[in-house]
């Protein structure tokens, strides 16, 4: 969708969106249109249940065309995430209306209006994402009609400047959503790595490690997961050097299980198709790198993703196998479906060992237990560092991705001890998200670290404010914000 910003005025074509505060007071433009239309708008409001409550909409046709009244509710709650949700709501209300153009007329005299205008547009852009690549019979009338969105606001060039930065982040989110939406016959470790190579165009350094190189490094935890697949495993290291030489980097590490059958501990058939998104952690890291490079972040950032396919063939690893990870620690495989932590064990160890980052954040669709705990609304995370943890919480709150800290601790950690090896890869049933995090902590070697279990939030089964149904890209924006506030401003 094309996005533009313009001086306030009377839109010449397309739909017009004006805001209405709780209680129904019309904005100046709405009042002028109402007067021209002989009080039609006031009558439409009076004859409906529209009261201007937040995110309510009412469509009225006048001689000037389609008018969408958008409820802003209590103006005190009108923050930037509110603006984004409103942008998403306006897009959803008009996308399939038949209108090609829409102009949102912002009339507030508020000091932050340019910022709000930019975030309104960002919300619309994020909500307009679609993945239609494989829908060959989609008819024109089933596709969105909306092509252009203009926000009229006093200070429009400032709004445009702010939006230009946000647009880079929206592109990162779209890249993540594309990767996560792809079916696993198209997106597998080698093809995923190839998609990452495209980031070179933005100035990202991209290095791909093959199985031989990983074997040489001793990554047998990761390689063990991939050994039952016809598809070779890969590790991709992406580097954005926005802060120049000598500045300590920060690192993001992603679980990239391109398909998770469970392996020999095979999953039941029902719902197994969801496991194409078991590479979402890696998808978020790739999208984050795109966002950071796209907005030329003033930070040195490493993105590491472990790419495998978890399949059950004659060469697959077995429950009771013992593997040696790159760290030297040995792992007894209890359940081959607890594979994500095996991939991350080597990816985390490699990252801290080679790059000595100031902190590491890993993302993984790691456990069903995380979904039992927090559902599909909030991402649970774990950390060994209170400052980093608080910074992530603040970043998530600021951009509207809900995160909630979960506990670690010795009592959980010791449940991962094994009788035959240094640890086992699966513990008892209860607290499964926590014991998984404790397993990962054994590979972070004191580096300040956060583990985000995105199992519940990576895929949305319904439309939400700025996220259409499907791959959400959850994490790209929170982590971009973490880099902005905790790294670039530090
Ligand atoms: N990829 C799954 C977790 C998952 C489930 C993500 C549903 C998203 C939606 C992971 O590899 C897995 O299978 N975890 C097991 C671990 C168990 C065997 C210890 C689980 O959660 O059941
Ligand atoms: Mn699994
Ligand atoms: Zn998995």
Provide Rg for the chain, Cα atoms: 24
DSSP string, 133-174: TT-TT--GGGS----EEEEE-TTHHHHHHHHHHHHHHHHHHH
Chain centre distance of CA 384: 23
Please list the residues that pair with 209 across neighbouring strands: 235
Angle at 303 between CA 443 and CA 123, to 5 degrees: 120
Query: Of the bound ligands, which one is closest to the alpha carbon of residue 272?
Result: 1
How many angstroms separate the alpha carbon of residue 256 from the centre of ligand 1? 13
Q: Where are the chain's structural domains?
A: 2-167, 187-488
Q: Tell me, using a 6 A CB cutoff, whether residue 339 lines ligand 1.
A: yes
pLDDT score for 27:
87
Strand 330-332 and strand 322-324: the pairing is antiparallel
Q: Tell me, using a 6 A CB cutoff, whether residue 263 lines ligand 1.
A: no
- Closest Cα partner for 312 from 367, 268, 262, 273? 262
d(CA 153, CA 104) in angstroms, rounded, equals 9
d(CA 8, CA 5) in angstroms, rounded, equals 9
Count the Cβ atoms, other than its own, within 10 Å of residue 402. 14
From the CA of 267, give the closest atom in ligand 1: 13
d(CA 390, CA 405) in angstroms, rounded, equals 9
Q: Tell me, using a 6 A CB cutoff, whether residue 453 lines ligand 1.
A: no
Helix-helix angle 280-294:189-197, to 10 degrees: 10
How many angstroms separate the alpha carbon of residue 439 from the centre of ligand 1? 14
Helix-helix angle 432-441:340-355, to 10 degrees: 30
- Residue at token pair 């009609």: 145
How many angstroms separate the alpha carbon of residue 209 from the centre of ligand 3? 21
Q: Tell me, using a 6 A CB cutoff, whether residue 376 lines ligand 1.
A: no
From the CA of 335, give the closest atom in ligand 1: 18
Q: Tell me, using a 6 A CB cutoff, whether residue 375 lines ligand 1.
A: no
Query: Of the bound ligands, which one is closest to the alpha carbon of residue 367?
Result: 1
| Residue nearest to ligand 1 atom 8, measured at CA | 455
Query: Of the bound ligands, which one is closest to the alpha carbon of residue 369?
Result: 1
How many angstroms separate the alpha carbon of residue 131 from the centre of ligand 2? 26
How many angstroms separate the alpha carbon of residue 341 from the centre of ligand 2? 9
Q: Tell me, using a 6 A CB cutoff, whether residue 426 lines ligand 1.
A: yes
Cβ atoms 252, 362 nearer than 8 A:
yes
How many angstroms separate the alpha carbon of residue 463 from the centre of ligand 1? 24
Please list the residues that pair with 4 across neighbouring strands: 150
Count the Cβ atoms, other than its own, within 10 Å of residue 347. 34
SS (H, E, C) 426-475: CCCCCCHHHHHHHHHHCCCCCCCEEEEECCCCCEECCCCCCCCCEECCCC
Model-level pTM greater than 0.85?
yes
Q: Tell me, using a 6 A CB cutoff, whether residue 340 lines ligand 1.
A: yes
pLDDT score for 77:
83
Q: Tell me, using a 6 A CB cutoff, whether residue 344 lines ligand 1.
A: no
d(CA 285, CA 210) in angstroms, rounded, equals 19
Q: Tell me, using a 6 A CB cutoff, whether residue 309 lines ligand 1.
A: no
- Closest Cα partner for 265 from 338, 157, 177? 338
Count the Cβ atoms, other than its own, within 10 Å of residue 425. 28
Q: Tell me, using a 6 A CB cutoff, whether residue 23 lines ligand 1.
A: no
Q: How far is CA 325 from CA 216, 221, 451, 463, in A?
A: 12, 5, 19, 41
Question: Which segments within 75-225 are labelled E, that is strand?
Answer: 101-105, 148-152, 205-209
Considering Cα of 42, then 44, then 46, then 50, what sign does the dihedral take? negative
* DSSP SS3 for 6: strand
d(CA 106, CA 340) in angstroms, rounded, equals 47
d(CA 55, CA 69) in angstroms, rounded, equals 10
- Closest Cα partner for 455 from 380, 390, 396? 380
Q: Tell me, using a 6 A CB cutoff, whether residue 297 lines ligand 1.
A: no
Count the Cβ atoms, other than its own, within 10 Å of residue 184. 21
Helix (H) or strand (E) holding 137: none
From the CA of 277, give the closest atom in ligand 1: 8
Pocket test for ligand 1, best of 338, 345, 451 (most atoms within 8 A of CB): 338
Query: How buried is residue 247: exposed, middle or buried, by Cβ count under 10 Å (0-12/13-18/19+)?
Result: middle
pLDDT score for 81:
95
How many angstroms separate the alpha carbon of residue 112 from the centre of ligand 2? 46
Pair of tokens at residue 487: 């790294």
Pocket test for ligand 1, best of 272, 331, 366, 460 (most atoms within 8 A of CB): 366
- Domain boundaries 2-167, CATH class: alpha beta
Annotated catalytic residues are 267, 341
- Residue at token pair 């499907």: 470
Pocket test for ligand 1, best of 270, 368, 380, 461 (most atoms within 8 A of CB): 368
- The CATH homologous superfamily for domain 187-488 is Zn peptidases (3.40.630.10)
* DSSP SS3 for 230: coil
Query: Of the bound ligands, which one is closest to the alpha carbon of residue 180?
Result: 1
Per-residue pLDDT of the chain (490 residues; tens, 9 = 90+): 999 999 999 998 999 999 888 887 888 998 999 999 999 999 999 999 999 999 999 999 998 899 999 998 887 888 899 999 999 999 999 999 999 999 999 987 788 999 999 999 999 999 999 999 999 999 999 999 999 999 999 999 999 999 999 999 999 999 999 999 999 999 999 999 999 999 999 999 999 999 999 999 999 999 999 999 999 999 999 999 999 999 999 999 999 999 999 999 999 999 999 999 999 999 999 999 999 999 999 999 999 999 999 999 999 999 999 999 999 999 999 999 999 999 999 999 999 999 999 999 999 999 999 999 999 999 999 999 999 999 999 999 999 999 999 999 999 999 999 999 999 999 999 999 999 999 999 999 999 999 999 999 999 999 999 999 999 999 999 999 999 999 999 8
How many angstroms separate the alpha carbon of residue 338 from the centre of ligand 3? 7
């Amino acid at each position: 969708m094309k996005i533009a910003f313009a001086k306030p005025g009377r839109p010449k074509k397309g739909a017009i969106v004006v805001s209405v505060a709780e209680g129904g007071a019309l904005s100046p433009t709405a009042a002028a249109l109402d007067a021209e239309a002989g009080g039609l708008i006031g009558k439409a409001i009076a004859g409906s249940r529209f009261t201007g409550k937040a995110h309510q909409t009412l469509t009225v046709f006048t001689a000037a065309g389609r008018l969408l009244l958008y409820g802003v509710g209590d103006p005190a709650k009108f923050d930037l995430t509110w603006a984004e949700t409103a942008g998403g709501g306006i897009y959803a209300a008009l996308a399939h209306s038949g209108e090609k153009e829409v102009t949102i007329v912002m009339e507030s005299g508020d000091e932050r209006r340019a910022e709000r205008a930019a975030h309104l547009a960002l919300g619309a852009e994020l909500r307009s994402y679609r993945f239609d690549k494989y829908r060959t019979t989609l008819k024109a009338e089933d596709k969105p009609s909306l092509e252009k969105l203009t926000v009229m606001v006093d200070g429009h060039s400032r709004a445009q400047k702010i939006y230009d930065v946000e647009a880079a982040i929206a592109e990162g989110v779209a890249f993540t959503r594309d990767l996560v939406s792809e079916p696993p016959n198209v997106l597998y470790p080698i093809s995923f790595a190839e998609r990452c190579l495209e980031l070179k165009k933005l100035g990202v350094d991209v290095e791909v490690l093959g199985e031989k190189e990983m074997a040489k490094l001793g990554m047998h935890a990761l390689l063990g997961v991939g050994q039952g697949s016809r598809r070779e495993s890969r590790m991709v290291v992406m580097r954005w050097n926005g802060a120049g030489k000598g500045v300590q980097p920060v690192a993001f590490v992603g679980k990239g299980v391109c398909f998770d059958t469970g392996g020999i501990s095979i999953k039941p058939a029902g719902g197994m198709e969801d496991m194409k998104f078991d590479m979402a952690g890696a998808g978020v890291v790739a999208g984050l790198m795109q966002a950071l490079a796209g907005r030329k972040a003033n930070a040195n950032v490493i993105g590491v993703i472990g790419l495998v396919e978890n399949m059950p063939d004659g060469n697959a690893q077995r429950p009771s196998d013992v593997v040696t990870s790159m760290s030297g620690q040995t792992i007894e495989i209890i359940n081959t479906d607890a594979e994500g932590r095996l991939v991350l064990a080597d990816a985390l160890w490699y990252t801290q060992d080679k790059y000595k980052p100031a902190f590491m954040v890993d993302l993984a669709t790691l456990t069903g237990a995380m979904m039992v705990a927090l559902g599909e609304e909030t991402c649970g995370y774990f950390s060994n560092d209170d400052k980093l943890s608080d910074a992530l919480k603040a970043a998530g709150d600021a951009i509207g991705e809900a995160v909630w800290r979960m506990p670690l601790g010795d009592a959980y950690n010791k449940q991962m001890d094994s009788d035959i090896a240094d640890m086992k890869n699966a513990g008892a049933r209860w607290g499964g998200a926590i014991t998984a995090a404790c397993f990962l902590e054994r590979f972070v070697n004191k580096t300040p670290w956060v583990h985000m279990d995105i199992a519940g939030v990576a895929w949305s089964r319904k439309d939400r404010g700025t996220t259409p149904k499907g791959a959400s890209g959850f994490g790209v924006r929170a982590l971009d914000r973490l880099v902005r506030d905790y790294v670039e401003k530090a």
